[in-house]
Structure 1
Amino acid sequence: MSIELSAEVAAAVADGTPVVALESTLLAHGLPAGRNHEVGVRLEETVRAAGAVPATIAVLDGTARVGLSADELARVCGSDMLKLSLRDLGPAFAMRRDGATTVASTAALAHRAGICMFATGGLGGVHLAMPGEQAWDISADLDVLAATPVTVVCSGVKSVLDIAATVEVLETRSVPVLGYRTDHFPAFYRRESAFGVPWRVDTPEEAAAVIAAHGETGSSGVLLVNPVPTEFEMDTDLHHRLLTDGMALLRERGVRGKDVTPVLLEHFHTASGGVSLTANIELVAANTRVAAEVAVAQSRR
């Protein structure tokens, strides 16, 4: 595998300094130009403020870069980047392409680099089926998390996904789900879904202890779910209207499979007047802070 760690990240991994991996698909494909670079810088500063080292991950010129320079971060945010899941890394390496890493590929590369903590916005999951159909589109994030000993801090899965099926897949794959100061599985823009979490932790130290104990008994990653901050949660009525209208839009356009989520998210961003975009940014920032605090607590054990 073609992978290079920045000097800062390599030194931190070698001496046990806490490191937090950050994905690049959020920046290249999830946020508008201009705002994406601002958010990328903010997330790295958030990690540093908590006492850890940020490691934003992307593929540049066919090499996985773990920890980006200022110029490389700007390149990710300003260039036309491929979206690379785990299955896409080999072709991108061989063809020397540029690409932004998803949750699945970021987790795999972080593990390869010796990093066990990863912050993101939302985990991929089982896609909603259109009426009269069965959903077969399941995000690679779930299987990678089941096979990769990395802790992913996120705000659950997006409400445009099938949350019930996603929670069931996580249970089947034996992935521990920890609610961070919550008893409910979050739904990205909303703090609570209809589903609970099997375990709750209330401090970084408690989370670190559970993660360490799981490492002695299981080989999967851990999902630490952190709800969107209360002040940025989307209004219930607005969320319901956007989701209902979005599903009608899918039927009207005949959208299927992997195209469902991007179309729904774009609908949320445009029809909410920026409310969903602000929620997205703030929940990622909150997850990054929690991940860094837990990483620091792990380093002190």
Structure 2
Amino acid sequence: MKNYKMFLDIKEEVKEALKNNLPVVALESTIISHGMPYPDNVKMAKKVEDIIRKEGGVPATIAIMDGKIKIGLTDEDLETLAKAKDVMKVSRRDLAVAVSNKVLGATTVATTMICAEMAEIKFFVTGGIGGVHRGYETSLDVSADLEELSQTNVTVICAGAKAILDLPRTMEYLETKGVSVVGYQTKVLPAFYTRESDIQLRHYVDSAKELAEIVYTKDQLNLKGGLLVANPIPVEDSLDDSYMNSIIDKAVEQSVKDGIQGKDVTPYLLKTIVEKTQGKSLAANLALVYNNALVGAKIAKEYFNLK
């Protein structure tokens, strides 16, 4: 008999919340290990957790440590992850290897979803999901996040897909896989750094309560797969659409010239964009992550009020 729970190391705070049917919100760890330098990454991670707690939720940051899937990190765990060099970026394909070999690993969106479902956590907050990369017709580069959304029963709150991606094709992929994308106070798919895009959403709501009711109904219907909540960056933090597209286009062009491929593409582009925007894109990234944590905690709280 298979027993994945032997690999779960659930923090006591999270364990008690799950036992008592309280709103738990999962968080990824790649943003800590690969997203920004120390100590900014620790400050960011702690602030996200604080936002969730202030809304009555319990944060559960997920990482791979010592042959275990850690569901909820201590301050010591967080420092270890934030300072370490060569942390493995763990996607679905890497999970068994990372756990078996007892490596230090940070979870991507896809793997955080897998681990959250193992721990019976229903809600997960991130910055932006992966998707279909620009130049897909030659690279066939599609993030595992999209496939995970089609099969793993976790609600993901994000600011859309990362703006460096091919957003129309990403949305088409989600449609093909039957993933519900619901806009939170928006009728269009937000483009990460900016609130606007040309991609209209089929479904949108104005309140966390409405979203919680959709998740609850989806559960009762026993529908397979995740639900994606598109929550735009706050107005005051949104960057100009044409300005960002120009910078992203140039960064993508440079990545091709430099021969950047595979898993190196996203970090290369994000680093280049931070440099070209003189840090404005990083400030926007932080703002949207904090906003997603706030909205995610509200949805989780409303959901558990329904039960």
Asked whether 1:249 is paired with 2:257, we answer no
Matches within 5 A, 1:61-210: 61-80=66-85, 81-129=87-135, 133-210=137-214
Match of 2:279 among 254, 257, 274: 274
Q: What TM-score do the two structures reach when normalised by structure 2?
A: 0.95
Q: Report the Cα distance in structure 1 between the residues aligned to 2:205 and 2:47, rounded to whole angstroms.
A: 26
| RMSD of Structure 2 on Structure 1 (CA) | 1.2
Asked whether 1:215 is paired with 2:219, we answer yes
Q: Which runs of 5+ in 2 are unaligned?
A: none
1:104 and 1:144 in contact (8 A); partners too: yes
2:33 match: secondary structure: helix
1:161 and 1:261 in contact (8 A); partners too: no
How far does the alpha carbon of each residue in 1:20-78 deviate from its partner, in whole angstroms, 9 at most, with x for none? 00000011101222110000000000000000100000011121100111111111111
After TM superposition, give the deviation of residue 150 of structure 1 in Å.
0.4
2:132 and 2:166 in contact (8 A); partners too: yes
1:300 match: secondary structure: helix
Q: Which runs of 5+ in 1 are unaligned?
A: none
Residue identity in the other structure for 2:261: R
2:196 match: secondary structure: coil
Give the paired residue count: 299
Matches within 5 A, 1:26-65: 26-65=31-70
Q: What TM-score do the two structures reach when normalised by structure 1?
A: 0.96
Higher alpha-carbon deviation: 202-211 or 251-260: 251-260
After TM superposition, give the deviation of residue 235 of structure 1 in Å.
2.0
Taking only the aligned residue pairs, the percentage that are identical comes to 39
1:122 and 1:156 in contact (8 A); partners too: yes
